[in-house]
């Protein structure tokens, strides 16, 4: 009996030992003096102001800014020395403020910004600066006109009223957008004129917007932009006319379809029509053709002064597409004009009623070439030539 009792006790002790061996030991507690969590120190508020305090010759059109980090803006003021305040806008996060109106030239301004950070401490920063003096201001005149409907060949031309020395900076202030994809680029003609031309013709029936953001911004050599402008225009149908002097038949395509064939009489040997890709510049009726406008007196041999219907200008030097009822018998056969493209009254009326500035007229095989700048001659260039900086 005693032996069995001893066995039972031994079994219980062995079970306890096994249980203890299968049970994980508790983790040691934290050492005395150590916290279980470390609190991060509050980030102090910072404010960056632009322009920097003490800046001179600041472009009046560049934005004045206050940027808060680790904090939110509570108040921002910008005022001229005479107390005139300048408005601005704060973003939704209240961390950035931008002025919303160009500054005046040759004026001292003070920018003051206040913010409060997570540490609860307010921060105030001040920047006092002076804007530049403009030697000249450049106003941008634009072709085409706002709201105009143009042909698909129409370039955008900006003529500045003062020379632009920093052309690269100026181009960054010009933005062209189209609702239909169209690759394009700017090219300068001298220091005061820049053109935007597409790689291919504009897509027909597209909407194009030019955004000029130059007001108060530096264009180089003390010249600043005078005003911002926004111009919107639309392209009409694609109307492209082609004529070879060999055939003397002008074929006109609208949206890719042949819609008109016009017998033509081009310039006679002593006054050849020029070959090249030209654009319709004006559409007028009636119009008086006057040889004295290009140096030939009307009362001299070869001089003339004739009023015609349905005249469409192709060059600055006086090459037109127009009605010529007196040469209908020669049209399609021989060249009798002073350089113009003579067509019948009926065909000229079609152009008058359907054409827009910027429609394309391609003349070939005349033995004389279109000169640079004699009209809207942007399509004389290949795309690679157009993109070269000049």
Please list the active-site residues.
322, 340
Q: How many helices (H) and strands (E) does the chain have?
A: 4, 29
Cα 290 to chain centroid distance, Å, stands at 39
Residues ≥6 apart with Cβ < 8 Å to 328: 344
Contact 377, 195 (CB under 8 A): no
H or E element at residue 263: strand 257-263
* Phi, psi dihedrals of residue 300, rounded to the nearest 5°: -100, 165
| Region class of 382: left (phi > 0), else alpha (psi between -120 and 50), else beta | beta
Burial of 345 per CB tally in 10 Å (0-12, 13-18, 19+): middle
In order of 75, 102, 142, 208, 213, the CA distances from 228 in angstroms are: 29, 10, 12, 17, 5
Closest of 96, 64, 50 to residue 216, by C-alpha: 64
């Amino acid at each position: 009996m005693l032996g069995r009792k001893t066995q039972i006790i031994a079994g219980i002790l062995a079970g306890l030992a096994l249980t203890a061996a299968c049970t994980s030991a508790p983790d040691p507690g934290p050492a005395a003096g150590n916290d279980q969590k470390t609190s991060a120190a509050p980030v102090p508020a910072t404010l960056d102001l632009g322009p920097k305090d003490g800046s001179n010759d600041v472009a009046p059109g560049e934005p004045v800014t206050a940027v808060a980090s680790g904090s939110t803006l509570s108040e921002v003021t910008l005022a001229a020395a005479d107390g005139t305040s300048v408005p601005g806008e704060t973003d939704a996060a209240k961390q950035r403020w931008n002025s919303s109106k160009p500054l005046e030239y040759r004026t001292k301004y003070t920018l003051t910004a206040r913010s409060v950070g997570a540490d609860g401490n307010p921060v105030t920063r001040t920047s006092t600066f002076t804007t530049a003096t403009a030697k000249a201001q450049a106003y941008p005149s634009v072709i085409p006109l706002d709201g105009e409907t143009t042909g698909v060949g129409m370039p955008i031309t900006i003529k500045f009223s003062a020379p632009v020395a920093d052309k690269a900076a100026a181009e960054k202030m010009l933005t062209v957008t189209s609702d239909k994809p169209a690759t394009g680029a700017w090219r300068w003609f001298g220091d005061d004129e820049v053109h935007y031309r597409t790689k291919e013709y504009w897509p027909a029936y597209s909407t194009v917007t030019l955004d000029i953001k130059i007001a108060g911004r530096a264009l180089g050599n003390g010249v600043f932009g005078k005003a911002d402008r926004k111009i919107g225009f639309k392209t009409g149908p694609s109307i492209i006319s082609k004529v070879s002097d060999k055939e003397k038949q002008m074929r006109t395509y609208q949206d890719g379809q042949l819609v008109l064939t016009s017998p033509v009489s081009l310039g006679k040997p002593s006054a050849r029509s020029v070959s090249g890709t030209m654009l319709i510049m004006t559409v007028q009726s009636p119009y008086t053709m006057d040889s004295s406008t290009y140096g030939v007196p009307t009362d001299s041999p070869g001089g003339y002064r004739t009023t015609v219907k349905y005249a469409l200008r192709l060059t600055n030097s006086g090459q037109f597409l127009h009605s010529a009822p007196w040469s209908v018998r020669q049209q399609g056969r021989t060249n009798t004009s002073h350089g113009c493209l003579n067509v019948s009254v009926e065909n000229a009326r079609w152009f008058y009623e359907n054409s827009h500035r910027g429609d394309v007229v391609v003349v070939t095989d005349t033995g004389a070439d279109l000169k640079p700048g004699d009209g809207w001659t942007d399509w004389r260039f290949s795309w690679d030539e157009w993109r070269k900086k000049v």
